[in-house]
Chain A
């Protein structure tokens, strides 16, 4: 129960941060990405503020040895491969067209707009599709598994 409440609180805080920073308005995202137009550095400011706090916190908590879950849930050491670069490239195209990445898109559901719902549902479908493709590739690359 406590974990649910802290998760809810963290989501709320994250969403407030996105709204305060203006990142929930796609125009602000496009203004950052549009290097050929009237460029706005705001997204870089958001990243800077977020990374400064989180980087500092991780350092501080590591020094205080409050890292009981560090070993279990730290991101795995996977390679830099085509999947990482290709996936990021595709994400960037969708981001550039719409001005929405996953966080602001979910916050935008709060506007009650049909467009936000359509975007999030398409995003969820894209995730499922991606998992399906990945599963198929993994299965076909391991003949011992596909025979089962």
Chain B
């Protein structure tokens, strides 16, 4: 739990610095969609942020067991990816944009978003694990 809070604090520090130094919200879905859009503002900056994320993943995957390869088969992974991309773009944020940044700004919209995706995610896990008796990503 201590590592969870410490890691969270680093995420909060990153979001704070990105806001103060670059004037931007550290919402990963927004950064990704902006980097993919040919007319997006600050496309290079967003790509640099994404590169930093991947670099952290390379380092931790190389020297620790904290970044395991996905164990779910490719087809359900792809379907889940479609849902995550479609949904975050539709609602304008994900766990970082609505969760970390939005809640820190006391945004009611973000609170509604977070409660909604937590609820449907918990229901989905319940259906997959306890009703369909599939192990899920295990």
Are A86 and B91 in contact, with the CB atoms below 8 A?
yes
Q: Report A-chain residues with C-beta under 8 Å of the C-beta of B121.
A: 33, 92-93, 95-96
Are B136 and A122 in contact, with the CB atoms below 8 A?
no
Are B19 and A58 in contact, with the CB atoms below 8 A?
yes
- Of the residues A27, A30, A84, A122, contact of B77 by C-beta under 8 Å: A122
Are A130 and B56 in contact, with the CB atoms below 8 A?
no
Are A94 and B67 in contact, with the CB atoms below 8 A?
no
- Of the residues B24, B48, B128, contact of A8 by C-beta under 8 Å: B48
- Of the residues B10, B45, B72, B109, contact of A98 by C-beta under 8 Å: B72
Tell yes or no: A53 within 8 A of B by CB: yes
Chain B binding surface SS class: helix
Chain A binding surface SS class: helix
Q: In whole angstroms, how far apart are the Cα atoms of A21 and B13 in the complex? A: 14
Are B91 and A84 in contact, with the CB atoms below 8 A?
yes
CB contact under 8 A between A6 and B90, given known A15-B53, A102-B28: no
Are B15 and A12 in contact, with the CB atoms below 8 A?
no
CB contact under 8 A between A127 and B29, given known A25-B66, A87-B87: yes
Are A23 and B7 in contact, with the CB atoms below 8 A?
yes
Q: Report B-chain residues with C-beta under 8 Å of the C-beta of A36.
A: 126, 129-130
Q: Report A-chain residues with C-beta under 8 Å of the C-beta of B124.
A: 33, 92-93, 95-97
Q: For A81, give the chain B residue with the smallest CB separation.
A: B109
Which residues of A are interface residues toward B (Cβ below 8 A)? 3-27, 30, 33-37, 41-43, 45-55, 57-58, 61, 66, 68-69, 72-75, 78-80, 83-103, 105-116, 118-131, 133-134
15 more A-B residue pairs beyond the given contacts A21-B10, A48-B5, A128-B36, with a C-beta to C-beta distance below 8 A: A8-B49, A10-B17, A17-B12, A22-B4, A45-B5, A49-B7, A79-B109, A89-B116, A91-B84, A92-B87, A92-B117, A92-B122, A119-B70, A123-B81, A126-B84
A and B contact pairs by CB, cutoff 8 A, 23 listed: A4-B45, A10-B49, A10-B52, A12-B56, A14-B15, A14-B28, A14-B96, A20-B6, A27-B138, A46-B7, A46-B11, A78-B109, A80-B112, A86-B87, A91-B86, A96-B128, A105-B81, A107-B67, A111-B61, A113-B69, A121-B81, A127-B86, A131-B37
